[in-house]
Amino acid sequence: MKVTVDDVNDLARGAAVLGAGGGGDPYIGALMLRQALARSGEIELIDVDKVPDAALAIPVAMMGAPSVMVEKFPNGMEFEAGLRALEKRLGRRAEFLLCAEIGGVNALLPLILAARLGLPVVDGDGMGRAFPALQMVTYHIFGLRAAPMTLADEFSNIVTVESTDDREVERLARHVTVAMGGSALICLYPMSGADAKRSMVRGTISLALGLGRAIRKARGSGSAPHQAVLEYLRTTEYYKHCSMLFQGKCSDVLRETRGGWTLGRVTFEGLGGWSGRTLEIQFQNEHLVAREGGSVRAIVPDLIAVVDSATAEPITTEGLKYGQRVSILGISCAPILRSPKALAVIGPAAFGLDAAWTPVETLNSD
């Protein structure tokens, strides 16, 4: 499959829905990807089963608080600098690029670098959504190591992190990211093709592209775009359990950038059939839990997506503003994230939440 400049907006929009509010501003990534594709023409998106077992594949992403990227844009040079530094450490060149998370700008960064270098991108990612910490990926859950890892800033300064403990890699890299201005390009979890086959959430890049197309077509036909989101997701293996959690307007936002994270909560007042009701979402880069009247409506690792009520344009945590009219969707995560081993890494307790994980389809079965 080839990705061209005509696919960029659809891919960015679909990835932002799947990012559960996080992953960084997709608009910035879309601008950079269109620029890269204007030079290269197209990118090869390849099924993981076609990757040779012995090939070297490297995930690429941005680390830090998504709100920082609104003002501190990457320039593109740090992408190649970070990759070349990790290749030098490993003693070999990458043959494939991987997506760390199918959310926001982080779904687009591997494609931007691929367009610059002429490398193929594997169709899939390590989350099936977005999460805030480096160990919160299926690559870690399946026993791969985050390090050696490189971080690069907009001046192409490079820091290499070495550790056998992925949580230590997260801690050290978070401090470096703060020192780099709150965001940094990262290359990590270098793996073989065989490891990618056993650890990836498959097919999520093409799935995000299809979702973005469904939203665009719904807008053009005059049908309800947010309903098109639900209808499309119900045809997929991962996200088929999805429903409307709430419709209303944003009445309060508390958001701060602290320790390399975007942290806060947002409150919505119901409109229409939801009039008189209130829903609150807590977030750490991504939406973590949605509560209505003290009752949990959706909780990590399941997805909580906030989209514009009229257009279904996804709204990231840094884009939340008072007065926005929104639809809030609860979406099941990929089954690979629902195992006890995965929940120990990306479940509610990993974020200090006092609620137990319950599938979104169970919480909203009425």
Supply the CATH number for residue 253's domain.
2.40.390.10
| Judgement on whether residues 183 and 251 belong to the same structural domain of the protein | no
| Judgement on whether residues 63 and 173 belong to the same structural domain of the protein | yes
CA distances from 92 to 119, 129, 152, 186, 217 (A): 14, 30, 19, 18, 44
- Res 76: pLDDT: 77
Domain count, the chain: 2
- Res 286: pLDDT: 92
Those residues whose C-beta lies under 8 Å from the C-beta of residue 285, and which sit 6 or more positions away, are 21, 22, 65, 66, 130, 131, 132, 261, 262, 317
328's tokens? 């809030």
324 in Cβ contact with 250 (< 8 Å): yes
| Judgement on whether residues 109 and 18 belong to the same structural domain of the protein | yes
Q: Is residue 209 part of a domain?
A: no
Structural domain boundaries, residue 114: 2-202
- Res 2: pLDDT: 93
- Residue ranges of the chain whose pLDDT lies below 50: none
- Res 64: pLDDT: 82
What DSSP state is assigned to residue 356?
P
The tens digit of pLDDT for each residue in 292-337 reads 988 999 999 999 999 999 999 999 988 899 999 999 999 999 999 9
The tens digit of pLDDT for each residue in 180-238 reads 998 899 999 999 999 999 999 999 999 999 999 999 999 988 778 889 999 999 999 99
| Judgement on whether residues 260 and 182 belong to the same structural domain of the protein | no
- Res 69: pLDDT: 67
